[in-house]
Structure 1
Amino acid sequence: MYAQLSTWIIDGTLQPEEPLRDLEIAERLGVSRTPVREALRRLEDEGLVQTALNRWTRVAPLQVQQAAELYPVVEALEILALQLAAPNLTPADLTELQTFNQQLHQAIQNADAGAAVEADTAFHEVWISRSGNQTLQHTLQGLKRKMRRIERAYFDAASAGHASVDEHGAIMTALAADDLAQAIAALSINWQGSFTRLQQRDEP
């Protein structure tokens, strides 16, 4: 129950600020209201659901403040992952990076925000998975799960997505040249640029 509802919120099936009625959800899923209420309470604890006592329950709105907290943490952890992974990266890994970035470009061309998020996540996952640090991988996985709704909104803007494709290209160029310092600098530019563009998108 929790897994299904959280997936619907994260992938956009349930939109930000959409009302959540436990009876309707229970009927939709063919369960009683009790597990639905328990799942909603858990999602509220995670910040994905908001409740006004005896008034309404809804999907939490997207907030730039949440991104402001998440992005620098993920950036720092990804830099660590890249530092750990760099000695282990192979030509096959670099080819994978290129493939995922091409997929990102195509998803943006197709205005497919969901596919863009998947391709972007896969691109960054190459060095995260090669870091060899399971604690780091698990921590980033949890943080990035929280970011998925934000990322979908980000990739709805084609100009922002194209900027990420270009920034990924700079990361790949540095890695191909075996220039870790430049790759880290390019990765920082990618994360900081993404947040800046997200802020601009949110402005009235």
Structure 2
Amino acid sequence: MEAIRPVPRTLLRDRAYEAIRDAIVAGDIAPGAVVRDAELAGLLGLSRAPVRDAFARLVDDGLLESKPQSYTRVTPLVAADVRDAAAVVGAMHELVTRVAVPRLLTAHIDAMRDSNARFADAVGRGDVGGALRADDELHDVLVRVGGNRAAAATIARYSPLIRRLERRRFAEGGNCRSAGLHDELIDACADGDVDKAVRVTAEIWRGLEDLADGPDDSEGSEALDLSDVGADTGSSGSSDSD
């Protein structure tokens, strides 16, 4: 049984964090909903320890808020917070774009074009989740090639705040961004035009700041919708030890 080894606790913490984060971003756990570590641990097939660790990270990320000895709940959608996050994430994307463009290879450009084709297809089908995944994949090419770990970490930390509002706006009848700006960005990258690529990147993220213009959520309902939490975690109901 040499192939069977204990699962590192860091992986359990990461799995809990990603599952709960994704459920919040998708709206499966609504703004204002109270979350309980025991309840989510049962759904995820984990003990409470990695879920509590995930809660602490999500508080730092701005997706949860906690009052000691009282509650932990999903933060409301606050336009000012989203605008702040979009400004920071946009600045990081401009930074990585400036560094990445001179380093891009044909394979990178092809990957960006493929992502944009899937983005446009998802938009046409009204698949918001698919569109946002393809959008992430397109920009992640530049993040990876840029190689700035601090920028990548900042983008990963604050992007969920923006994605949560994007999903809400689209569900309310808004439109996904056009693939046209992506085409401009990709063409600039293919031409090695750093300044233009940075300008287009800035335009893309200004649009996301503008998306935050609108009413904030109220504190919302205390009820939890946990139906999809853990659906993609691969858990079979086994738990780790505290």
State the TM-score, normalizing by the size of structure 1: 0.80
Coordinate RMSD, CA, aligned: 3.0
Identify the match of residue 180 of structure 2 among 138, 159, 166: 166
Question: What displacement does 1:69 show?
Answer: 1.0
Identify the match of residue 149 of structure 1 among 164, 176, 184: 164
Question: What displacement does 1:125 show?
Answer: 0.8
Cross-structure match for 2:202: 188
Counterpart Cα distance in 1 of 2:50 and 2:177: 42
Q: Give runs of aligned pairs for residues 106-121 of structure 1, distance below 5 A.
A: 106-121=121-136
Cross-structure match for 1:59: 74
Contact 2:101 2:193 in 1 (8 A): no
Q: Give runs of aligned pairs for residues 2-41 of structure 1, distance below 5 A.
A: 2-3=16-17, 4-29=19-44, 36=51, 39-40=54-55
Contact 2:79 2:215 in 1 (8 A): no
Counterpart Cα distance in 2 of 1:177 and 1:35: 46
For residues 70-128 of structure 1, the C-alpha deviation after alignment (integer angstroms, 9 at most, x for no partner) is 11111211111111111111222222111111111111222222211111111111111
Contact 1:160 1:197 in 2 (8 A): no
Contact 1:171 1:183 in 2 (8 A): yes
Identify the match of residue 85 of structure 2 among 64, 67, 70: 70
Letter in 1 for 2:168: A
Unaligned runs of 5+ residues in structure 1 are none
State the TM-score, normalizing by the size of structure 2: 0.69
Unaligned runs of 5+ residues in structure 2 are 1-12, 218-242
Higher helix content, 1 or 2: 1
The share of aligned pairs that are identical, in percent, is: 29
Bigger RCO of structures 1 and 2 (CA < 8 A, at least 6 apart): 2
Question: What displacement does 1:132 show?
Answer: 2.9
